[in-house]
Amino acid sequence: MAFLSELLHRDVRDHKNSFIGKLRDVLIVPGNGNGEKSEPYPRVVALAVHQRGHAEPLLIPWEGTEDLAGNKIILQKPTQTAFQAHGNAIWLARDVMDKQVIDTNDHRLVRVNDLELGKVGTDYRLINIDIGGRGLLRRLGLEDFAESIADRLARAIPNRMVAWNDLDFLPSGSLRVQVAREHLSELHPADIAEILEDVGPSVGAELIRHFADEKLADTLEELEPDFQAQVLEKFTHERAADIVEEMEPDEAADLLNKLDPERAAEIVQRMEPEEMAEVQALLPHHADTAGGMMTPSFLSVSPGITCGDAMTQLRAQPDARDAQVTYYVYVTDANHRLAGVFSLSDLVFADPATPLEDIMHRRPKRVQVNSSRDQVLEKIAKYNLLAVPVVDWRGALKGVVTADDALEEILPADLKIRLPRIFR
C-alpha cells in the first residue's frame, strides 16, 4: 500500500543507485493500455520524474520490478527507452488529485484528497480514492499528530475511501481522457440531476452530452425550469430539438417558454411535426393555469362500444404506450368532448362483451383550460385523483394534469425560490 501524496517528491534512483530526479507524477492507463476491456484497477504504467533543469519530466516506463514502499524509489533495471505518453494516459497527480469526481455508488460529488496504490503481483495498481478527513490531514502533514490526539480521546479518525472503479470524471479542460465508463448514465435521472446542480450548467451540460436523447431528456425533466434552460443553452439547435422531442410535452412547453423566444422558435422548427404540434398546442397557456400544467398524452376511447372493443382500440393507438397516466381511460365522442372515464383495471377485469357504459363514470371531475393552479390542486386533492382531465369551453378534452405535476407546482413556493442554486 502506498499513498500518492507520500510518493510524490521522493528521490528516484537508477539501478546503480545514482540519483535521477524527484517523482513528480504517476501515470496509469484506464483499461490495460491495449484498448481491451477495462480492468477494475488500472496498473501504473510509468513514472514521471522531474530532473533539475528540465521543464518536461522524464517518463520512465514501469518494469514491474520497482518497489514504491521504501522512502526512495530505486529502479531495478536500466531503462531502455522513455515511456511514450499517449493521449490516453492519466497523470494521477495532475488529472485526478484534488479534482472533484463523481462517486457513482453514492451518486454525489466528492473531492479527491489522496490516491491509494496497492501492490498486486509485481504491479502497482490504483485501488482507492481517499475522500475523507484522513487524506486531508495526511496532505497537511498532520495525520500522525491528529491520530495521537484521536487516540487520547479514544476515537478513530474515520477513513473514507471510494473504489476507483466506482468513480466517474467531470469533463474538464485538463482531462480529455476517454474513460470507458457507463456509470453515470446508469444512474437514476433524479440522482444525475442532483450532481448537475452541484457542478453548474456549463460543466453539467458536458457531463451529459454523450447521453442518448431520451436519457438526457429524462435527466432534464428532473431539473428546475431555469436550470433546464441554462443547460439546454449549451446544445446546438438541432440537438436541443432532439432532446425536447423526448421530453413530456408539458415539460417541453414550460422549458421552451423559459428560453429566449428566438432560440425557442429555432428549436421548435427543428422538431418532428408530431411533437411540434403537441408542444405548440401547450405553449400559449400560462404556466400557472391548467392549460400550462397539462400534458396532452392520455388514453381515450370512443363511446358506445364494448369493453373488448375498447381494449382493441387502446392497443391500436400508437401513442398509448407513451401516456403519462395509464390508470384512467377517458371516453370522448367524435368532437373530442369528454363523455366519461373508467379505470384501466375495471376494463381489464370486465367481460369483453360488457358495454363500456356499464363500467364508465358519466360525469368525470374536470377543470377548464384556464382554471387556476389552485383550482386544479383543489380538485385533485378533494377527489383523490391521480390525474384530472382538462377541457376547453366546448367540453373537449385537451389534456390531463397528473398529481405528480400538480405536486411539483406546490413545492417551489416552499423549497425552491430562495438562494442562488449553488448554495442549496
Partner 1 sequence: MKTAFRFTRRPYRRFAMFFAMLGPGVVSALAGDDAGGIAMYSIVGARYGYQLLWTMVIITILLAVVQEMTLRLSVVTGKGLSDLIREEFGVKATAVAMLTLLVANTAVTISEFVGIAAAGELLGVSRWVAVPLSALLVWFIVVRGNYKRAERIFLALGFVLFAYVFSAFVVQPNWGEVARGTLVPSLQFDSKFLLVLIALIGTTISPYMQFTLSAAIVDKGVAPSAYRNALIETLLGVILSCAFAYFIIVATGATLHARGIYEIESAEQAALALAPIGGALAEFLFAIGLLGASLLAASILPLSTTFAICQAFGWERGLNQSWEDAPIFYGIYTALIVIGALIALIPGVPLFLIFLLVYDLNGILLPILLIMMLRLANDKRLLGARVNGRLANFLGGSTAVILIVLTVMLVVSPWVNF
Q: Should residue 353 be labelled a site residue for partner 1 when binding is judged by CB under 8 A? A: no
Nearer to partner 1, 268 or 356 (CB): 268
DSSP lists the bridge partners of residue 154 as none
Nearer to partner 1, 210 or 286 (CB): 286
- Cβ 8 to partner 1, closest distance in Å? 10
Nearer to partner 1, 120 or 411 (CB): 411
Q: Should residue 99 be labelled a site residue for partner 1 when binding is judged by CB under 8 A? A: yes
Q: Should residue 344 be labelled a site residue for partner 1 when binding is judged by CB under 8 A? A: no
d(C-alpha 265, C-alpha 259), whole Å: 9
In a 13 Å sphere around the CA of 300, the CA atoms on its Cβ side amount to: 22
Nearer to partner 1, 200 or 355 (CB): 200
Binding test (CB under 8 A) with partner 1, winner from 12, 44, 68, 268:
268
Binding test (CB under 8 A) with partner 1, winner from 38, 79, 280, 326:
280
Under rule CB under 8 A, which residues in 15-34 are in contact with partner 1?
none
Binding test (CB under 8 A) with partner 1, winner from 65, 159, 202, 317:
202
Binding test (CB under 8 A) with partner 1, winner from 46, 59, 276, 311:
276
d(C-alpha 385, C-alpha 382), whole Å: 8
Q: Should residue 175 be labelled a site residue for partner 1 when binding is judged by CB under 8 A? A: no
Q: Are 247 and 322 in contact (CB under 8 A)?
A: no
Which residues are CB-neighbours of 422 under 8 A, at least 6 positions away?
200
Nearer to partner 1, 135 or 399 (CB): 135
Instruction: Give the binding range for partner 1 (CB under 8 A) out of 147-155, 264-272, 306-314, 387-395.
Output: 264-272
Nearer to partner 1, 72 or 111 (CB): 111
Phi, psi values for residue 234, rounded to 5°: -80, -5
Q: Should residue 87 be labelled a site residue for partner 1 when binding is judged by CB under 8 A? A: no
CB atoms within 10 A of CB 153: 7
- Cβ 104 to partner 1, closest distance in Å? 16
Q: Should residue 111 be labelled a site residue for partner 1 when binding is judged by CB under 8 A? A: yes
Nearer to partner 1, 126 or 268 (CB): 268
Binding test (CB under 8 A) with partner 1, winner from 28, 47, 184, 205:
205
d(C-alpha 95, C-alpha 157), whole Å: 27
Q: Should residue 136 be labelled a site residue for partner 1 when binding is judged by CB under 8 A? A: yes
Instruction: Give the binding range for partner 1 (CB under 8 A) out of 76-84, 211-219, 267-275, 343-351.
Output: 267-275
Q: Should residue 193 be labelled a site residue for partner 1 when binding is judged by CB under 8 A? A: no
- Cβ 179 to partner 1, closest distance in Å? 18
HEC assignment per residue over the chain = CEEHHHHCCCEEECCCCCEEEEEEEEEECCCCCCCCCCCCCCEEEEEEEECCCCCCCEEEECCCCCCCCCCCEECCCCCCCCCCCCCCCEEHHHHHCCCEEEECCCCEEEECCEEEEEEECCEEEEEEEECCHHHHHHHCCCHHHHHHHHHHCCCCCCCCEEEHHHEEECCCCCCCCCCCCCHHHHCCHHHHHHHHHHHHHHHHHHHHCCCCHHHHHHHHHCCCHHHHHHHHCCCCHHHHHHHHHHCCHHHHHHHHHHCCHHHHHHHHHCCCHHHHHHHHHHCCCCCCEHHHHCECCCEEECCCCEHHHHHHHHHHCCCHHHCCCCCEEEEECCCCEEEEEEEHHHHHHCCCCCEHHHHCECCCCCEECCCEHHHHHHHHHHCCCCEEEEECCCCEEEEEEEHHHHHHHHHHHHHCCCCCHHHC
Q: Should residue 412 be labelled a site residue for partner 1 when binding is judged by CB under 8 A? A: no
Q: Should residue 159 be labelled a site residue for partner 1 when binding is judged by CB under 8 A? A: no
Q: Should residue 265 be labelled a site residue for partner 1 when binding is judged by CB under 8 A? A: yes
Q: Should residue 339 be labelled a site residue for partner 1 when binding is judged by CB under 8 A? A: no
d(C-alpha 143, C-alpha 147), whole Å: 6
Q: Should residue 308 be labelled a site residue for partner 1 when binding is judged by CB under 8 A? A: no
- Cβ 326 to partner 1, closest distance in Å? 30
Q: Should residue 73 be labelled a site residue for partner 1 when binding is judged by CB under 8 A? A: no
Binding test (CB under 8 A) with partner 1, winner from 69, 140, 190, 212:
140
Residue span 209-238 as binding mask against partner 1, x where in contact by CB under 8 A, dash where not: ---------------------xx-xx----
Binding site for partner 1 (CB under 8 A): 97-100, 108-113, 131, 136, 139-140, 172-174, 198-205, 230-231, 233-234, 256-257, 261, 264-265, 268-269, 273, 276, 280, 283-284, 286, 417-424
